[in-house]
Structure formats: structure tokens, C-alpha cells
Chain A
Amino acid sequence: MAEDLYSVLGVAKTAKPEAITKAYRKLAKKLHPDLNPGDKAAEEKFKKVAAAYGIVGDEEKRGRYDRGEIDASGQETPQQRYYREYAGGEEGARYRSTAGFEDIGAFSDLFGDLFGERGGARGGAGGRRFSMRGQDAHYRLDVDFLDAVNGTKTRLTLPDGGTLDVTIPPGVTDGQVLRLKGKGNPGMGEGGPGDALIEIGVKPHPVFKREGGDIVVEVPITFDEAVLGGKVEVPTITGRVFATVPPGSNTGQTLRLKGRGIKSKSGTGDQLVKLSVVLPERIDEDLKSFAERWREAHRYDPRRKLKEQA
């Protein structure tokens, strides 16, 4: 079942020694394991080619093979340990070169960060000596609306029982991630610890809503406040203030309280007070007769626009 050695080399049985050597070198240059590190198939082919050449490339052995005195496998040269078996290990580090790809900037930057002065040993007998920055730790922290708006200091209890003091900056938004440098997982070797990344969840508030840097509050006013105007008490994120409702205010109208919004690095927002006129819960006779009288003389059509448009 042994393969014909001449066909392994792709030469005729009658080929001259020089032609055999030429054919062998052509194949070997392509298949030599040290020119194909990591390619198993090439190695297998190379072994066959080298074994064939070991016999038909040698005048005496070729004669014996041709006469049938030895078969194609009648060859036991000691196995060569190829350089590539060492090249990746600690021993190979003396020879390995990274000079050729220093131009791949991001690549070397990456390795600079990741490995520092790594010895370059992989898989070898000695352990790896490399440094790696610790992983970032991810946490989630829910804060009250007013704490998010005004900023606060709070303490986060970690799953492992430790704690982390977190300063919430004023104006933090829902979903924003705070980064605490060096508060993540410890690194390896010379690598520093990772960061703690804290995703902030802001709980909704029953009264205050947020629109960018502004705070929006809906404030009900009475019928007479709407008609005559007046001062009404309004909650803000820093306490109660009085706002002036101009005479003839209506539902949907908005008052702007300058500088009563969120104070953050990017500036100070306003508070928007959305007015909504609310009739008394019970309509008494007085109001009823007033309305009837008023309607006689002052009929008006607030739905005129509506009719025009739809």
C-alpha cells in the first residue's frame, strides 16, 4: 500500500539525481514546517516528501529501493524537532521580533496597555508574567427624583458586602453612567484596577417632570384666579415660592420661573408652571345664576378654530 516515492516528489522513475533534488527543494520550500507554523496539513505533506527524498535522493538507497530491497517506509531517521515548536515558548522569545509591525499603531498601543512589558511567554513551561488592567464592575443605583436633580452623596452596597461612596452630581439623568476610577475589579500584575460603572436610574416624581434642564409642574388655579390674576403658591425643586398669575390666564398657559430649574455644569434651567383652571367641586346657585346671566350678554365661541380646521 506504500505510495510510490517518485510520484510523491512528482518525478519520473528515470529522473536524474539533480532533477530529483530540484523537485524536492521546490516542494520543501513550500511545505517546510518552519515556513508554515501552525499548518498541520503542510507538515504531513512535508514529512512524506522528506521521507521520499531521504530514499530516492540518496544514490545507494535509491538503488536498493528500485531493486525492491527496501520499501517506501524503510527509513528511520530520527525525528527533527522543528524550530517552530520552540518559537512560541519562552525560549523563542529571544528570537521573536515585533519590529515588523510597529506601524500598526493601534495594535501596539493595545498591547502596550494590555500587557505592559510582557515577557512574551505563552504556553511554555514557565508561567505567564503579564499585567492586565482589572475589569470594570457594573452596578445600578436608583435615586429619588429630587436627589438626582439637586445632587447628593449616597452609599452603594455591593453584592460582596462592601460599600462604595457615590457622589451624584446635580442634574444626573435617567440611564446616565457614572464612572468611579479604580473602583472596579483588581488588575493582574502591574495592571491597575478597573473602574466602577454605575448606571443611574431616576425614580419618577408625582409632581415634577423633567424636560432637559427645565422642571415642569402642572398647577391648578381657581376660576377667579384665572380671571382676576393673583399670587399662587407653587412647589419647586428647592422649596415653595409664589408665582404671579396674570389676569385672564387660561388652562394650558405656561409661566416661566427663571432659574428655578436644574443647576448643572451646563447651566441653570427654568421651572415651567402649566396652569389648569379648575372649577369648584360643587357649583352653587350663586355661580350658576352668574353664569346664566353672563351668557346672555357675553356669548363667545372657543371652538371656532376647531370647526374651521376639522
Chain B
Amino acid sequence: MLSERDIVARVRHLTVTRLRVWVAQGWIKPADKAAQGFSDADLARAALISNLEDELGFAEEDVPVLLNLIDQIHGLRSELMGLLDALEDLPPDIRATVRMRITSRREGGER
């Protein structure tokens, strides 16, 4: 578990105040809420927010929009991976049927 200080020390441009704002905004949800303990994922997320604001020059009000989209993409990716995993376990003939349906759907969708 990482402390507030650990995070600030490892992310360039980051101050305790900024980190606390991010936590208060819900952009970062400390893995251990009670003890304000952060995980590696929280650290990486802090680095991402710093990247967005400090390196890429996004305005602060853009950050929640971007995070929301990024979180949705990962949610979608995760569900899709789960679906693909489940498909992998199916017998080959059923997989072939699914593939066929997907293909015919795609072709049907074209104008």
C-alpha cells in the first residue's frame, strides 16, 4: 500500500493538495479508503491525470470527461474479453456459428 506522500513523490508535478482534490473529485479512489492507502493502479491513475493536465495540456474541467470515457472503454473491453473467453470454451461448431452470425450481421449492416 502506498501513502499520499509516496504518490506525490513518484508523480512529477504532483502536490499533496492536488492529489487530495483528485480524491475528493472521485477521480482517484484510494484502494484502502479508511487509511488513505493507494495501490499501484491508483499511482498509475494519478500519473495519467498528471499526464493529461501537465503534459498534454488538457484543462482541469476536461479531465473528468476523459476519465469517464477511459473508464467506459475499459469496462467495455473487460466485458468483451469476458465474452471472448466464454466463447473460447464453447465447442468449435458453436464458435463457427457465432462467427458466421457476426459476419452476416456486419454485412447486413452495410449500406
Contacts and interface: CB of A to CB of B under 8 A. Distances in A.
Interface in A61-114: 80-89, 91-101, 107, 110-111, 114
B78 interface: yes
A29 interface: yes
A83 B83 contact: no
Contact of A86 (B41, B76, B81, B83): B41
Interface residues of A, number: 43
Given A28-B55, A28-B56, A87-B74, A98 B40 contact: no
Contact of B74 (A88, A99, A114): A88
Contacts of A35: 66, 70
Contact of B82 (A37, A92, A118): A118
A183 interface: no
Contacts of B48: 34, 82-83
A114 B82 CA distance: 9
Given A29-B56, A80-B47, A122-B85, A87 B79 contact: no
Contacts of A81: 40, 43-44, 47
Contacts of A92: 41, 74, 78
A132 interface: yes
B41 A91 contact: yes
Given A25-B57, A28-B55, A34-B70, A97 B75 contact: yes
Interface of B is mostly: helix
Interface in A15-44: 21, 25, 28-29, 32, 34-35, 37-38
Interface string A212-226: 000000000000000
Contacts of A111: 79, 82-83
A130 B75 contact: no
A120 interface: yes
Among A25, A28, A35, the one with the most B-chain Cβ atoms within 10 Å of its Cβ is: A35
A115 interface: yes
Contacts of B86: 114, 132
A101 B77 contact: no
Given A29-B56, A34-B48, A88 B81 contact: yes
A69 to B, nearest CB: 23
Contacts of B74: 37, 84, 87-88, 92, 95-97
Given A34-B48, A111-B83, 18 more contacts: A32-B56, A35-B66, A35-B70, A37-B77, A81-B43, A83-B44, A85-B44, A87-B70, A87-B77, A88-B81, A91-B41, A94-B31, A95-B45, A98-B72, A107-B79, A111-B79, A114-B83, A120-B75
Interface of A: 21, 25, 28-29, 32, 34-35, 37-38, 50, 80-89, 91-101, 107, 110-111, 114-115, 118, 120, 122-123, 130, 132, 135
Q: Which 6 A-B pairs have the closest CB atoms?
A: A91-B41, A86-B41, A100-B72, A87-B74, A96-B75, A83-B48
